[in-house]
Amino acid sequence: MATSQSASPVRLAAETWEALFRAQVAVMRRLQSGPAFRKLAVNEYDVLFTLSRCPSGWLRLNELNDNVLLSQSSLSRLVERLEKRGLVARMPAPEDGRGVLLKLTDEGRELQKEIGREHVRDISALVAPALTPDEQKELRRLTDKLRNSL
Amino acid sequence: MATSQSASPVRLAAETWEALFRAQVAVMRRLQSGPAFRKLAVNEYDVLFTLSRCPSGWLRLNELNDNVLLSQSSLSRLVERLEKRGLVARMPAPEDGRGVLLKLTDEGRELQKEIGREHVRDISALVAPALTPDEQKELRRLTDKLRNSL
DNA sequence: CCAAATTAGATGCATTTGCATCTATCGACG
DNA sequence: CGTCGATAGATGCAAATGCATCTAATTTGG
């Protein structure tokens, strides 16, 4: 009987992914039910957050789409909603007549910061008691490595 | 200036969560666009999968809801759809007149296995090249620990 | 330089989702 | 026991999502 539980590489990969996925579900469920996301859905906040991290301030719609788990059409309409609420501004891309550039408005930046502060506290309250700092660093390293190798 | 990048525990936790979340988004995006999920959405498959892992075969609707990132009402309707397609069967809970028990039908079990085989191959193709077996085990350990401590 | 194929994003439409609420049952407590 | 708050699940309805498709701009290959 040389067939121990996770002997197969395929099985190990599947179990690894399932553990990652379930952890994400469990944490996200708690985060999104908190008071931080009263004013904005998580996906909407995520767009504002990504824009806030963008060095130039402007980001292409299709680049945004890589970060978010949404179809292209859903992102298009999500951005439309954000624009209607005055949180982001659009501009036709200068180098590509098909493209659209996005940036935060002042109001959008304010709201991102406001939600972000609370969001970060919520995250910390969940993650910090669960893992030591070294474990957190290792988890960050492994998930970054996984993402970068796709 | 003793404020290095991730000196703050709060910041470290936030960065850890973001890395985990982005990795999940990146992997999930690739998985769900693959041919494995032609016949069934990921959330629907996930319900079949969870039922297939249940020792007794029967599972309460509200227990299912802990595993899935869906509101109670959405899960209720998702299950309704699965039942209409003949993939799951319902039964009133014997010990609790409010509850509903679910199990896979034979057809549901077949479909879960069929999709599952392909799904596992897809996962392996993404995860195995990215992380060594030891790294995968460590990632599994850390995400399990995170989830269990919530 | 032009036609064909590709890419960015928008839009019509059906499906899915979530919020609020409703019904029914359970459990606690007087 | 009988009432009252809590819990399980279903449902009306508005909002969000995805698929297929459309338009327009770009890139590619002859």
Which domain CATH number covers A133? Answer: 1.10.10.10
Q: Cβ B127–A68 below 8 Å, yes or no?
A: no
Q: Is residue B150 part of a domain?
A: no
Span A74-85, mean pLDDT?
97
How far from A141 is each of B12, B23, B138, B147, CA to CA, in Å?
A: 12, 11, 11, 18
- Domain assignment present for residue B62? The answer is yes
Q: Distances in Å between the alpha carbon of A81 and those of A47, A86, A104, A107?
A: 12, 9, 13, 14
Sheet holding B88-92: strands in order across?
B59-60, B100-104, B88-92
- Helix, strand or coil, per DSSP, at residue B59: strand
Distance A100 CA to C3 C1' (A): 27
Q: How confident is residue B7, by pLDDT bands cut at 50, 70 and 90?
A: confident
How far CA A12 is from CA of A53, A91, A124, in Å, comes to 35, 46, 29
Nearest beta carbon to residue A27 from set B19, B26, B150: B150
Residue B35 CB-density burial (10 A; 0-12 exposed, 13-18 middle, 19+ buried): exposed
Decide if A148 is inside a domain.
no
Is B22 part of any domain?
no
Task: Report residue B67 as tokens.
Answer: 């595993």
In a domain, A149, yes or no: no
Write out pLDDT tens, residues A91-136.
999 999 999 999 999 999 999 999 999 999 999 999 999 999 999 9
Q: What is the band of A1 on the pLDDT scale with cuts at 50, 70, 90? A: low
Domains held by chain A: number: 1
* Mean of all residue pLDDT scores within chain B: 94
CB A135 within 8 A of CB B142: yes
Please check whether residue A101 is in contact with residue A90, taking contact to mean a CB–CB distance below 8 angstroms: yes
Q: Give residue for tokens 């990795």.
A: B23
Instruction: Give the residue-averaged pLDDT of A45-73.
Output: 96
Residue A24 amino acid letter: Q
Residue A106 lies in a domain: yes
Residues 6+ apart with CB under 8 A from A125: none
Q: How far is CA A136 from CA A19, A97, B14, B15, B146, in A?
A: 16, 43, 10, 9, 10
Range A29-54 average pLDDT: 95
Q: Please check the confidence at residue A2 and state whether its pLDDT lies above 80.
A: no
Residue A5 has pLDDT above 90, yes or no: no
* Residue A21 located in a structural domain: no
% of residues, chain B, pLDDT over 70? 96
**DSSP sequence for B60-86:** EHHHHHHHSSS-HHHHHHHHHHHHHTT
Portion of chain A with pLDDT greater than 70, in percent: 96
Contact with chain B for residue A91, Cβ under 8 A: no
Chain B residues touching residue A28 (CB < 8 angstroms): 21, 69
Task: Let me know if residue B123 belongs to a domain.
Answer: no
In chain B, which residues from 30 to 59 place their CB closer than 7 Å to nucleic acid strand D? Answer: none
* Domain span including residue B104: 39-118
Contacts with B76 (C-beta within 8 Å, 6 or more apart), sequence order: B61
pLDDT for the residue numbered A25: 96
d(CA B72, CA A13): 30
